[in-house]
Amino acid sequence: MDIVHDGFGLMLVFGDLVWVPFLYSLQARYALEHPQDWSTLALIAIFILNSKCCLIDQQGVGDEHIKNSEFVDSHLWPVLFV
């Protein structure tokens, strides 16, 4: 199920309310229970990897926006107001 097929975006809401907080709390709990002394090189590598992942995600969102903005068939994409 996707936001295209489901008007409210069930999977998007599930991810925002359950998946994202779970992932953030999981990392924090691991960091508290297993403290480590990270070297400066390791911290820089983690920061670069995290930045690269965010960039890839934003490029995917941009590509999806371009694809959806080109799709303008009113029979398949009705606009409903409540």
In degrees and rounded to multiples of 5, residue 49 shows phi and psi of -65, -45
> What's the confidence (pLDDT) of residue 6?
61
How many helices (DSSP H) and strands (DSSP E) are in the chain?
A: 3, 0
Number of domain units in the chain = 2
Q: Is residue 19 part of a domain?
A: yes
Condensed to tens digits (0 to 9), the pLDDT of residues 6-35 reads 656 677 777 788 888 887 888 788 888 998
> Which residue is listed with tokens 């590509």?
63
Q: The pTM is what?
A: 0.46
Burial of 52-76, coded b for 16+ CB within 10 Å and e otherwise, reads: eeeeeeeeeeeeeeeeeeeeeeeee
Q: Domain limits at 57?
A: 37-71
4 and 31, same domain (yes or no) = yes
